[in-house]
Amino acid sequence: MSIIINEEKKLFTLQTNSTSYQMKVDDLGLLLHTYYGKKIPVADMSYNLNDYYLSFSPYDFIGEGWKPHSVDILPQEISTFGNGDFRESAINLRQADGSLGLELRYDSYTVEKGKYSLEGLPSFYGDNAETLIVTLKDKIYDIYVHLYYGVFEEYDLITRAVKIENKTGESIHLEKAMISLDFFNGDYDLVTFHGKHMKERMLQRNSIFYGTTSVGSTRGASSHMQNPFAILCDKEANEEYGNVYGFGLVYSGSFLISASKSHFKDTRVNVGINPENFNYEVEAGGSFTTPEVAMVYSSEGFGKMSRCYHKAIRNNLCRGKCKTARRPVLINNWEGTYFDFNADKLVSMAEDASKIGIELFVMDDGWFGKRDDDHSGLGDWKPNERKLQGTLKKLADRINNTGMKFGIWFEPECISEDSDLYREHPDYAFKMPNRKPSESRNQLIVDMSRKEVRDNIYNQLEKVLNSANISYVKWDFNRHISDLYSVALPKDKQGEVFHRYILGLYELLERITTNFPDVLFESCSGGGGRFDMGMLYYMPQVWTSDNTDPIDRLDIQYGTSFAYPVSTMGAHVSASPNHGTARVTPLKTRGIVAYFGTYGVELDINKMSDEEKTEIQRQILEFKKHYDLIQYGEYFRLQGPFDETKYYTVWEVAKEDGSEAIVASVRNRNEAGLVHEIVKLKNLIPDKFYRINGGEQLYLGGALMEHGLKMEYDFFEYPARLYHITLSE
């Protein structure tokens, strides 16, 4: 049993394989957080709660003989504004009378088998979980706050969400809606993942100072600049050691993650919708549900935390037939042709690609409407039969006749002013009254909060997908949201538009992925601008970055791996010199880096030499040979790209039972006189012998883990090696 309740003490304990999480109702009726950490036998951990009064920290007096204690120093399970707690609040709620107060007290609880679901929002799912719902009620008003907890024992994963229910008879307004978690200690680091277009998820680690440290997005998307995932950890925590707490927001819009250290040396983490430009009316009898936060605690450093997330995301967040099926090796024509193509050129690429084992041909931007550059056509999802030299079905059939599947690119959330859809419905685009809208990539955003807009887009996409044998869709989003204003909402509801947009997007994604279950959908936003758990609920893979330079990808895929599994990372071999960086790298290196993702090709294969085609053919066979191990094995970051004392980036994927592993190394910089480096491997059987790449020499598993493996030296720029480690018979 993962949820244990002591009704007499009003004590709630959540247990996973390795962790315990506990909360308790105090004599005021406050739900207080007492423990989150390494698994221990169930015991009342409230003895460390502060039970005294401090000056300038108010308390709620309940009668003679009661010892006052300040709310401001209590670890609350959900924090609210206006009740004497001056730390960062999770919920700010304005009552119908204009007051900003919410004083929550314990009301009831329920326990359910299986994982709760959230209406209109993505969330982890599964019968291999249990649900606890603790209900709190305001002391004065009929406002109920339901705290949802999902417990996945096997992954050490606990999910949380909050539902605010309004039974007052009048409308109330939410100005902040997040989840919070309080820690007794204040001496932590915060690890976050920043970046920009073509340089996403760069790891940064900073001490939490007195005050508030925060990251977030106000772009209407989770963004390239910050990722909705963060880690709170001990100062000394590393890959294998230390207390580590992961917080993953299952949401794709504007978000905020903050960590606040109070003057009493405790820490509060808040995660949820960014409160900037957020004001949501909850009508009488209505409710509002926050996005879900997925939490993992590890006492064994970052590595174990990551492996818990990887399993949970693969098995209980991604959905559909494609989540476990082997993904086809694809070629995308974008970097090979950009907008300059016709059907004959695409078919010629497909013919060459099929001969070397590529299985899926993806036609990227430029196939629809008036679309010979990025100034026009978005919104007109009708094949350009002049450019395609016939119908889309004819082209798909020609591609299929080469032995390849056929895929296609869409950008359904954006619209060009030079398009038939915009000329017919200019109100579909976000525009502020009396202002000219700002453009990005020569395009505007369509208002996904409106059902008629979603229906129009869906009907166009449905017609295209039904017209030909289409096996794959790349869903792109090449700008972020400005000029935020919906003509469908009154002026006092414009603070709801960002969130309503995301809810509308999710509704459209649910509709199209449900109705086309055999299509593999890949999310993209100029690469990794919306790489988040929310999108993975609808699409099992994300184009990790528009930057395909393998040396830059070491950084990008390293940072991404802290939360997201290999199976979700779109990774391709592209041309050299690279189109984004002009860096020249060996084809073998480009392939090895792309193996640890979905592996595909993004270049003009007609321009490749026979030698290069042979190498790609070899890579495809090698990738397929190791597919299950790479995609579903235990992932270990052995040596990261940000360590300036090291010259190799090294990572490993191993079977859980230690019977097989694959290690990849890339030398990401050179130095005169450089020799080899030795790296210690992981997850092998200490007393068993192994072979490396089928060689004759035997290596003891314990020796490889404690003494290490020499990274072989190759005298040229950016060499890469793959070490396949198997048990000796």
Question: How many C-beta atoms lie closer than 10 Å to residue 76's C-beta?
Answer: 23
Same domain as 662, residue 605: no
Q: Is residue 367 part of a domain?
A: yes
Higher pLDDT, 186 or 468: 468
Label the pairing between strands 472-475 and 520-523. Answer: parallel
Residue ending a domain, among 601, 629, 657, is 629
Q: Is a pLDDT exceeding 80 seen at residue 63? A: no
Cβ atoms 662, 630 nearer than 8 A: yes
pLDDT of amino acid 62: 59
- Classify residue 374: in a domain, yes or no: yes
Bridge partners (DSSP) of residue 297 are 245
User: Could you tell me if 490 and 506 lie in one domain?
Assistant: yes
Is there a domain that residue 102 lies in?
yes
- pLDDT tens column, 326-340: 999 999 999 899 999
The per-residue DSSP string of 62-127 comes to --TT-----GGGS-BSS-BSSSS--SPPSEEEE-TTS-----EEEEEEEEEES----TTS-----S
Domain-ending residue, one of 290, 316, 342? 316
According to DSSP, the residues that pair with 189 across neighbouring strands are 207, 233
pLDDT in tens, 589-641: 999 999 999 999 998 999 999 999 999 999 999 999 999 999 999 999 999 99
**Distances, alpha carbon 121 to alpha carbons 228, 293, 477, in Å:** 16, 12, 19
- At residue 683, the 3 state secondary structure works out as coil
Above pLDDT 90, what percent of the chain? 90
Is the pLDDT at 453 greater than 80? The verdict is: yes
Instruction: Say yes or no to pLDDT of 6 above 60.
Output: yes
pLDDT at site 67 = 62
Which one, of 399, 402, 403, 371, lies nearest residue 385 by Cα?
371
Note the pLDDT tens digit of each residue in 242-267.
Answer: 999 999 999 999 999 999 999 888 99
Specify whether 334 is located in the same domain as 357.
yes
Same domain, 592 and 699: no
Tell me the pTM: 0.97
Mean pLDDT of the chain: 95
Listed in sequence order, the residues at least 6 apart from 433 whose beta carbon sits closer than 8 Å to its beta carbon are 485
Instruction: Output the 3-class SS for 424-455.
Output: HCHHHECCCCCCCCCCECCEEEECCCCHHHHH
219 in the same domain as 89: yes
- What is the identity of the amino acid at 123? S
CB atoms inside a 10 Å sphere around CB 250: 24
Indicate if 620 and 713 belong to the same structural domain: no
Whether residue 283 is found in the same domain as residue 431: no
Domain assignment present for residue 373? The answer is: yes
pLDDT digits (tens, 9 = 90+) for 281-291: 999 999 999 99
Active-site amino acid positions: 532, 612
Question: Which of 51-65, 174-188, 374-388 is predicted least confidently?
Answer: 51-65
Residues 142 and 174 in one domain: yes
Number of structural domains found in the chain: 3
Alpha-carbon distance of 60 to 80, in angstroms, equals 15
> Which contacts (CB < 8 Å, 24+ apart) does range 26-31 have?
26/74, 27/62, 27/66, 28/60, 28/62, 28/105, 29/105, 29/106, 30/71, 30/74, 30/76, 30/104, 30/105, 30/106, 31/76, 31/77, 31/78, 31/104, 31/106, 31/134, 31/136, 31/147
Which of 8-17, 91-100, 144-153, 226-235 has the weakest average pLDDT? 91-100
Domain assignment of residue 322, yes or no: no
Given a contact cutoff of 8 angstroms between Cβ atoms, the answer to whether 187 and 273 are in contact is no
| Mean predicted confidence (pLDDT) in 480-492 | 95
Predicted local distance difference test score (pLDDT) of residue 673: 76
DSSP string, 404-423: -EEEEEE-TTEE-SBSHHHH
pLDDT tens digits for 505-559?
999 999 999 999 999 999 999 999 999 999 999 999 999 999 999 999 999 999 9
Across the range 160-164, mean pLDDT stands at 98
Which two structure tokens, joined as six digits, stand for 213?
Answer: 């440290």
Whether residues 565 and 580 share a domain: the answer is: yes
Residue 672: band (very low, low, confident or very high) from pLDDT cuts 50, 70, 90: confident
Q: What percent of the chain is modeled with pLDDT above 70?
A: 98
Confidence of residue 479 (pLDDT cuts 50, 70, 90): very high
Q: What is the DSSP string of 586-638?
A: -HHHHHHHHHTTT-EEES-GGGS-HHHHHHHHHHHHHHHHTHHHHHHSEEEEE
**Domain presence at residue 219:** yes
Establish if 323 belongs to a structural domain: no
Residue whose C-alpha is closest to residue 565's, from 295, 308, 298: 308
Closest by Cα among 682, 681, 651, 670 to 713? 670
Of 316, 342, 368, the residue that ends a domain is 316
657 and 620 together in one domain: no
* Domain containing residue 684: 635-727
CATH of the domain at 107: 2.70.98.60
Do 267 and 389 have their domain in common?
no
49-63, 80-94, 646-660, 694-708: which range is least confident on average?
49-63
Looking at residue 354, what DSSP letter applies? H
Does residue 557 sit within a domain? yes
For position 400, what pLDDT does the model report? Answer: 98
Q: How confident is the model at residue 66 (pLDDT cuts 50, 70, 90)?
A: low
Residue 75 to residue 359: CA distance in whole angstroms: 55
Is 60's pLDDT higher than 80? no
**Number of neighbours of residue 616 by Cβ within 10 angstroms:** 23
The CATH code of the domain that includes 674 is 2.60.40.1180
Task: Indicate if 560 and 687 belong to the same structural domain.
Answer: no
> pLDDT digits over 126-155, tens only?
999 999 999 999 999 999 999 999 999 999
Assign residue 375 the CATH number of its domain.
3.20.20.70
- The values of phi and psi at residue 626, to 5°, are -105, 15
Instruction: Return the amino acid letter for 498.
Output: F
